[in-house]
Structure 1
Amino acid sequence: MSHFKDPPKKSLGQHFLHERGVIEKIVLAVNPQAGERLVEIGPGQGAITFPLLRRHGSLTVVEFDRDLITPLMEASEGLGELTIVHKDVLKVDFGKLAGDGRIRLVGNLPYNISTPILFHVLEHADAIVDMHFMLQKEVVDRMASAPGSKVYGRLSVMLQALCRVQPLFDVPPGAFRPPPKVDSAVVRLVPKPADQVGIANFGLFEAVVRDAFGQRRKTLRNAVQQLCSGDDIVAAGLRPEARAEQLEVAQFIALANHLAQRPPAAG
């Protein structure tokens, strides 16, 4: 007998995974090992939760929908130790959740807030071993895209600066209930060690990337004029007339690092 009686909630962007073959591929990709701490974002009706719990023995899940909490607890009995954090994922401190260790994240992310979730987890990248997320395929394409691509943008640069981005496999709409109107894909994100990232001032880097892509048609000089001059762009080794989508991730980092080293303006 199913413990889950309520239909998926449109307002929460819920699409519940049911395709067994896809679920098995996700669990194989995660491949949890003894002693690791697993955290799932948005377990829904437990399609990935219960196979992971059977395989690993313990799992923490972050679930916002109050109506799913009791059914999840009941259905997990005898499978392993399930800890439920009833909270909006955007308010979860993953660093705190990791304690003095590091966590592995898994999730079929709600498509209506997947980008804010990605930016939120990036803030805690040093507490995360890796992430396996199901997202809209077009979001995964953006995450992994290279300079010059039409979909290369802020999300691509921010993620690739901090993580290795590896698209794993596509998932058709029929694997979900209700079927979304788009294809989905599973992606693996592996945060880079801090010494490999090389960003001097993360806030400044974020501002450079945001402004550079704020108006895609503008040259770099015009897009980031609130932050720096054409001379600064040249000094960082970039062309002021270039456009944001032509720049490598390393070039954005070079510009932000150059700006971070400038002496403060005389008051």
Structure 2
Amino acid sequence: MSEYQHRARKRFGQNFLHDAGVIHRILRAIHAREGERMLEIGPGQGALTEGLLSSGAELDVIELDRDLVPILNHKFAGQTRFRLHQGDALKFDFNSLQPAPHSLRVVGNLPYNISTPLIFHLLNNAGLIRDMHFMLQKEVVERLAAEPGGGDWGRLSIMVQYHCSVEHLFNVGPGAFNPPPKVDSAIVRLTPHAVLPHPAKDHRLLETVVREAFNQRRKTLRNTLKALLTAEQITAADVDGSLRPEQLDLAAFVRLADQLADLQTPA
């Protein structure tokens, strides 16, 4: 193994993308253009990095694995539009890149163990972001893109769809990676809403209501939310308390959160 080769590490959840056809399809979906501000999270061995740079985009990359840093620096030496940040994307301050509002285009092949917290970390910075393209476990993408009424609809679907439109673009089989993961993957596009379709009076209360509701998803709302709202208060929010949480759409959860906000506001 040469100094510029690297074995995938289990503890970082590394599965390196190597299928040229899949790489090309992802790059086509992203459609990076000259001068755009791109951020790649977990570039690995640079499979997507090369294509993003060849578009003429300005590219920052965040890589946790110190052993990959010299490999990436060697591969993209002399590229003035390439900037590497070694560190944890979950702790990264996206404002430090000083992007214009709604300009940052985020790309990543995300390990399963950090995908959900990282998406929430990015949503806290949604005002900086134009769009996000992620490779995730297929089941996570199905939850992100879910609609009310099914088993995939839950906290992740609601809180991401509060901030973004979600497009499940296409699936990717295990053979596209080295080593091959044990599950199918999928590409998803998240686009922050220019105007929130259902703005809540207090975003944190919406998170609280959704978390409580889905803590025991098989129970009715009047049971799961009884610590927050009475049956009468649920009805006053124009919500049927005999329903289970997966039967409610985003707008109904926002009404419940706004009801809670009104109760907490001094008269």
Q: How does 1:140-159 map to 2 (within 5 A)?
A: 140-159=141-160
Distance in 2, Cα, partners of 1:100 & 1:128: 9
Question: Retained in 2: the 8 A contact 1:126–1:194?
Answer: no
**What SS class does the counterpart of residue 66 from structure 1 fall into?**
coil
Q: Does 1:53 align with 2:59?
A: no
Distance in 1, Cα, partners of 2:211 & 2:144: 15
| TM-score, normalised by the number of residues in structure 2 | 0.94
2:188 corresponds to: 187
2:9 corresponds to: 9
Structure 1 residue identity aligned to 2:31: N
Distance in 2, Cα, partners of 1:210 & 1:88: 26
Indicate the larger mover: 60-69 or 196-205. 196-205
Distance in 2, Cα, partners of 1:142 & 1:191: 17
Q: Does 1:233 align with 2:245?
A: no
The percent identity for this pair of structures is: 49
Number of residue pairs the alignment of both structures matches:
266
Q: Does 1:37 align with 2:16?
A: no
1:120 corresponds to: 121
Question: Retained in 2: the 8 A contact 1:43–1:63?
Answer: yes
Structure 2 residue identity aligned to 1:11: R
2:88 corresponds to: 88
- RMSD in angstroms over aligned alpha carbons? 1.8
- What do residues 212-259 of structure 1 show as CA deviations (whole Å, max 9, x unaligned)? 101111111111122221122111100111111000111111111222
Structure 2 residue identity aligned to 1:43: P
Indicate the larger mover: 94-103 or 72-81. 94-103
**What SS class does the counterpart of residue 196 from structure 1 fall into?**
coil
Q: How far off its partner does 1:166 sit? A: 0.2
- What do residues 37-72 of structure 1 show as CA deviations (whole Å, max 9, x unaligned)? 000010000011111111224310011111111110
| TM-score, normalised by the number of residues in structure 1 | 0.94
- What do residues 5-25 of structure 1 show as CA deviations (whole Å, max 9, x unaligned)? 220000010000000011111
- What do residues 124-172 of structure 1 show as CA deviations (whole Å, max 9, x unaligned)? 1111000000000010011111111111111111111111000101000
Question: Retained in 2: the 8 A contact 1:212–1:244?
Answer: yes
Gaps of 5+ in 2: none
Question: Retained in 1: the 8 A contact 2:198–2:251?
Answer: no
Q: How does 1:71-110 map to 2 (within 5 A)?
A: 71-101=71-101, 102-110=103-111
- What do residues 157-207 of structure 1 show as CA deviations (whole Å, max 9, x unaligned)? 111111100010100000000000000000000001245341211100000
